[in-house]
Amino acid sequence: MNLFLIACAVLIALGATGWILHARRQLKRYRALLDMSPNGMLMLDAKRNVIWHNPAAAKLLNCRRQSLTGSPLSRFLPMLDTLPAPMQRQETLAQSPQGERQQVDITRLPDVTRRTAVILIHPDPAHQASNEAMERLKRSQYFAQIGTWDWDIGTDRLYWSEAIYGMFGYQPGEVVPSYQLFCDSVHPDDQERVLEGERRCIETGQNHDEEYRVVWPDGSVHWLRETGNVISNAQGKPFKMMGVVRDITEDKRSTRALEQLAHHDALTGLPNRVALEQQLQQALTLAHKQQSRVALVFMDLNNFKYINDQHGHATGDQVLITVAKRLRTALRASDMVARLGGDEFVILMEGLSQQLRLNDEAHALCEKLFTELAAPVLVEGRQHRIGASLGVAMFPDHALTLDKLIHAADLAMYAAKRSGNNQYRLASDVTTHAHTSALEVNRAAGGQSE
């Protein structure tokens, strides 16, 4: 009897061992199948933390396997507020630890236990096949300095494509994009305008298109252009804004450089004829409203051709640069000094009172200019002396329009030039005024006609 029991026990033990080995082989095969499966699988505990996953799940969620286990599901599927019903397929948004977002399809499988849920993540064949195309897109965005963004309206959730990080002064993945981070990065002088543009876009559905400055962590300022629009739900309520942003810092610099070339003299940096005429037109309009006076002074240098011919154009250029600096020093910050070309300069003065005597005001201005140019110009150890001929025309005394005022000042300048060095003439004068002392001019002022 005892032998029989022992024999039964041995048979049972052998059978159990065989069953265990068989079960282990089956389990190994099932695990291998799960590891090779293109479908991602997540096993969740009662608090919806990931307690197990297969390799495909980490790959489809674009994260490391070590970071997935033990993490809350909301870290990777932030839009999934509630789990779908068992065997229900649902589209949701996945977010990687680097902040990248993508649409994924999931299905909740029947629960293993009441406290353990299983989520299946379906691979997107088109997405898988387009990995290479997506990489090309990332690179093209980086080199074109353009990126895509989307914002969940009313929340702090913000997505940046990889190219946008650099536009705000960060390395990809260095920070977690958020709406607050975006607002804090916008230049304080531009914040209200940008926020108002977003509000208008949300309220009206109109496209959002803004240029604004951002301040990088290192304090440098850069220009961005942002365009976007809203996405509404089935009830017509906006819930998301999406768009693109482009770095236009270099564009702004190029535009400023072109404007500088188009409106300024390349040698002296002074405004040119185009800028002068624009400013003069504005000055005349303002003077008409304010009943003030505008002075236009045409200046031609004397002895400049001799300097150019005898000492070369390089010396002549240095003389012109020095003259430009002296004229700027002699005048108010609000006055304009322009160079028309060659040795011709123009001075524009606004806001002059109509109550002052015209002759006295013109004389004081011309005396100041003659005095400023009197000192010799030193170039490479050699002194060069120059003089000037000045023609003065006043609005509204001599002309009421831009063209006529320019013509009057030009004629007066040539009249002064025919009379000798350091002479000035008003547009209405019939007498050429020599460069004399203030006492002599005051004595002769009664005989001058206006």
Active site residues: 343
- Listing DSSP states for 45-67 in one string gives -TT-BEEEE-HHHHHHTTS-HHH
Q: What is the 3-state secondary structure (H, E, C) of 119-135?
A: EEEECCHHHHHCHHHHH
Give backbone dihedrals phi and psi of 100, rounded to 5 degrees, phi first.
Answer: -75, 140
State the Cα–Cα distance between residues 332 and 334, nearest whole angstrom. Answer: 5
Dihedral sign for Cα atoms in the order 49, 52, 57, 58:
positive
What is the H or E stretch that residue 395 is in?
A: strand 387-395
Provide the 8-state DSSP code for 72: B
State the Cα–Cα distance between residues 378 and 318, nearest whole angstrom. Answer: 9
180, with CB counted inside 10 A (0-12, 13-18, 19+), is: exposed
State the Cα–Cα distance between residues 434 and 418, nearest whole angstrom. Answer: 12
Q: Which SS3 state, helix, strand or coil, does residue 20 take?
A: helix
HSE of 273 in the Cβ direction (CA atoms, 13 Å)?
A: 8
**Two tokens at 270?**
């002074």
Give backbone dihedrals phi and psi of 402, rounded to 5 degrees, phi first.
Answer: -60, -55
Helices (H), 168-244: 179-185, 191-204
Nearest alpha carbon to residue 90 among 114, 120, 111, 110? 120
Q: How many helices (H) and strands (E) does the chain have?
A: 15, 18
**Two tokens at 379?**
């170039």
